[in-house]
Amino acid sequence: MSENPGPGDAMPDVAMELPDGGSVKPSDFRGRKLVMFFYPKDNTPGCTTENQDFTALKPQFDEAGVALLGVSKDGPKQHRNFIAKYDLAAPLASDAAEGGLSDALGIWTEKQNYGRTYMGMVRTTYLVDAEGRITRVWNKVKVKGHAAEVLEAAKTL
């Protein structure tokens, strides 16, 4: 198995579904910096907080010329409901397809919780430059203060 893409590598260009039925892929953001934050599941406490934190800082990301994209395996309808329930401003994409972007990045992986083994998303954030190269990766993200830390890193890119 090859090593997961990291700093200096091109972000794999895999299409994902948007809540409105359209699609998006990392190359759609060429010419702009991009923060992609991958999270396990809509409507769970940590994931809700993470999305709210990125939403709260979205004006500053916009000001810094940085696009945001939240990604999980949840479907478009679930994303629509999640966005509406919490008035989220950071766009969300569904990476539900087998062999999708999270698979290409190696962050859809076997996890264990309370002795149960299952497939799940490792909470990971990627900072991508305007040429589509990964410049920084945050693995196994702890939500508290994370969006602010990513914003500071994005400003220096």
Task: Spell out the domain ranges in the chain.
Answer: 16-155
Tokens of 75: 């479907």
Tokens 């190359």 locate to 27
Identify the CATH number of the domain defined by range 16-155: 3.40.30.10
Cβ 71 vs Cβ 82: under 8 Å: no
Pinpoint the alpha helices (H) of the chain: 45-63, 76-86, 101-105, 146-155
29-78: pLDDT as tens digits = 999 999 999 999 999 999 999 999 999 999 999 999 999 999 999 999 99
Report if pTM > 0.75.
Answer: yes
pLDDT-derived band of residue 3, with 50, 70 and 90 as boundaries? confident
Name the burial class of residue 128, with classes exposed (0-12), middle (13-18) and buried (19+) by CB atoms within 10 angstroms of its CB: buried
| Cα 37 → chain centroid | 2
Catalytic site positions: 47
Residues 72-95 pLDDT 10s: 999 999 999 999 999 999 999 999
Question: Which of 57, 69, 62 lies closest to 17, judged by CA?
Answer: 69
